[in-house]
Structure 1
Amino acid sequence: MFNLFSNNRKETVPEWVAGLEETQQRWFAFLEKLEARMEELCTAAIPELKEMLAADEDTYQRTFYKIQSGINGQMQHIRRKAYDTYEEKVINARYAVRDGSLTGMGSDYLTGFTQACSDRYHRDFESKFNYWQGQLDQAAVKDYEAEYRRILSDFEQTKNSFACSQCGSPLTIDRIFFISTYITCPACKTQNTFEPGTSARSLQHIARSLAEQRTRHLLAAYEAENELERELYQANHELKLSLIFEKDRTVTAGKEQQIRANEIRRQEAISNAPRMYKAYLRAMYDEWNNITPDLKEHNEKMYLRHIASNHFPS
């Protein structure tokens, strides 16, 4: 570990430094154990979650989500332990030192301790937590394309196996039905009730998710534009604050130019984001309609309500 308390100046090392050094070492070691626990938990859980999700025939995946919730609960417990320990050990140790009159080496020691422990937690530990949580979230994303292919395969294998209940003539099933439907016999005109199988019925439950999966790149582009607007706003806020005490005119001019450029791009993002989201919605509903054309009228009404609720121009 890098020793933040090393110093070549000939000053007396404050007595409390040894205690902070020990606290820092213990804190780093504690976080390493928590990180190892997260890695162990996730590397064991992720393959099982993927396998379970792929094999789960429950439309609502209730058992899967119950297990996933338990794993997420363990992750949050680990995170909470890090937070509680940081408050109890690091923050308390830092405030136990009276720093109001600290100067020179003493002030450097305390600043180094505070920064090192904070970075190890807020930057390093949180980064690893977010990585593993992201991996768990990804494991919970069902492959709806694979599910759709299975439904199509089942349909191809069974669509020619139905006959009229009255005369026995073959019935033509020309598309996937997911609700009970009357099929007219072309020979005797008898109305036959066609009951779709479990696979076909599941289509209406996965159609929107499949459409969203197919258009995720458009949603991601919108989210990135939205995030860029927030980042540019924050960047300009910090630049403006830095100008308050800036005396170098060259530096000031450079920062003001950057502020103007940021604001131009930020306004573009503000204008672009609604259009990008509307384009995503249109593409997603189009995909949804292609997957379940029988629901198109209903879906279009939903689309119009969605547009209206977001106050998009027509």
Structure 2
Amino acid sequence: MMPTFAQYHAELQALSNRMTVYLDRMEARAREFGAQAKQTAAELQATDPNSVATFRMEIHRQIMFLHTKAERAYEQYISPYEDLEDDDDLSMDEFRVLRNLTEDIEHEVDSFEDRMDAVIEDIFAAGQANQTRQEWDRAIAEWRAAQSSFTCSQCGAPVALPELYHVAVYVTCGGCGSRVTFQPSEAMRAAPRWAEELADAECADLKRTYEAGHEGGGGMDFVSYVYYLTSQFRVLSRLLPFYARSLAPQMPGKIRAAWEDNTDQLTPHEVSPRHYETEYLNVMGNIGVTAMGMRASGHTEHLALILGVVRDVMRPGDPLAQSILDGTFTEEMWDRRQAAADRMSDAVPR
């Protein structure tokens, strides 16, 4: 006698529970292994950095084998249930319920790879942070040395180096007016990499929030990205202003791409009028509240970045967005717009 829907469902639920326990146990094993490998990683990063890449590849191979085991377990025990569509004793609705269960398990197995990546990152995080700080300090030290020793090739007068330049630049001699080429050292040329890592470390919480995503979206993934991107750029501008200025022209393109990827604002015909309006208001309202706080606390540099985002994505002539730019935004204005959006249709255009 063929199994019934109830039997299939009970079997899959039991397998799902077992898979969860199995993955948790393997993660615990990976973390135990990682705790032992962490000290070796730190020592290599401090004494023999050229060997770190090889060591990391071996660690990656060993830990990711656990993910391979999880995939094999899925293939052996779960994937046979994917063929139940051919079972004539199951209705389409019953098959969909079972298929959803298998997809949930598959997603858990797929996300186990991210859990293993996190273990690997943790092994090398402390040593990487130390290396980043050491290399950054070396770049700063060499820039300071160049500030006191760089002279004009024409008249021999000292030439100012007000910023750390990571590429060759022309600087003007204050004595004779000649344009002199400054060639940065190897450490200075590498400074953008270390500045990026320092900025990411300082903005780690914002980056995690963006990468984790928001259930239901509603424009909040875009807002999280804006907070991360503008904060990272602000830190880079403090650490390495010459490099940050070279990145500034890329900002609008990144914002526009995130607007397209994380919202439905460029495809209003694919969503309901209520969703389209609410998503826009979620973005503008949250940014508006943030801008109010920045104005009150005097964070003008970061505020300028946030207002630039508003200009990049606002609807032409939109009064709510304009109020953010003018500094007249209030939460009451936002609430009124939201109330009006709530009365819009939930029907998707056909």
Shorter-chain TM-score: which interval? Answer: 0.5 to 0.7
* Cα pair 2:200 2:232 within 8 Å, conserved: yes
2:237 maps to what in 1? 289
- Name the % identity: 22
Alpha-carbon deviation of 1:275? 1.7
1:275 maps to what in 2? 223
1:137 counterpart (121, 134, 158): 121
1:196 maps to what in 2? 184
Q: Equivalents in 2 of 1:291, 1:186: separation in Å?
A: 26
CA RMSD in angstroms comes to 3.9
- Are residues 1:49 and 2:33 paired? no
Give SS of 1:170's match: coil
State which structure, 1 or 2, has the greater radius of gyration over its C-alpha atoms: 1
Q: Equivalents in 2 of 1:87, 1:199: separation in Å?
A: 49
Alpha-carbon deviation of 1:171? 2.6
- Are residues 1:221 and 2:201 paired? no
Alpha-carbon deviation of 1:309? 0.9
2:250 maps to what in 1? 302
Point out the more displaced range, 169-178 or 215-224: 215-224
Alpha-carbon deviation of 1:307? 0.9
Alpha-carbon deviation of 1:219? 2.1
Gaps of 5+ in 2: 1-21, 79-107, 261-312, 315-350
Alpha-carbon deviation of 1:136? 2.4
Structure with larger RCO (C-alpha < 8 A, sep 6+): 1
- Are residues 1:182 and 2:165 paired? no
Q: Equivalents in 1 of 2:222, 2:28: separation in Å?
A: 42
For this pair of structures, how many residues does the alignment match? Answer: 207
Alpha-carbon deviation of 1:277? 2.0
1:311 maps to what in 2? 259
- Are residues 1:162 and 2:136 paired? no
User: Which residue type is aligned with residue 251 of structure 2?
Assistant: Y
* Cα pair 1:179 1:201 within 8 Å, conserved: yes
TM-score, structure 2 as length reference: 0.47
Alpha-carbon deviation of 1:201? 0.9
Q: Equivalents in 1 of 2:119, 2:167: separation in Å?
A: 36
1:260 maps to what in 2? none
> Following superposition of structure 1 onto structure 2, how do residues 73-222 of structure 1 map, counting pairs within 5 Å?
73-81=61-69, 84=72, 134-141=118-125, 142-143=128-129, 144-222=132-210
Q: Deviations over 1:84-111 (max 9, x none)?
A: 57987x99xxxxxxxxxxxxxxxxxxxx
Alpha-carbon deviation of 1:279? 1.8
User: Which residue type is aligned with residue 63 of structure 2?
Assistant: M
User: Which residue type is aligned with residue 74 of structure 1?
Assistant: Q
1:261 maps to what in 2? none
TM-score, structure 1 as length reference: 0.52
Q: Equivalents in 2 of 1:167, 1:64: separation in Å?
A: 47
Gaps of 5+ in 1: 1-27, 92-121, 231-268
Give SS of 1:192's match: strand
Give SS of 2:181's match: strand
Alpha-carbon deviation of 1:271? 4.4
Point out the more displaced range, 287-296 or 67-76: 287-296
Q: Equivalents in 2 of 1:295, 1:159: separation in Å?
A: 18
* Cα pair 2:164 2:242 within 8 Å, conserved: no
1:45 and 1:161, CA in 2 relative to 1: closer, same or farther beyond 3 A?
same
1:187 and 1:147, CA in 2 relative to 1: closer, same or farther beyond 3 A?
same
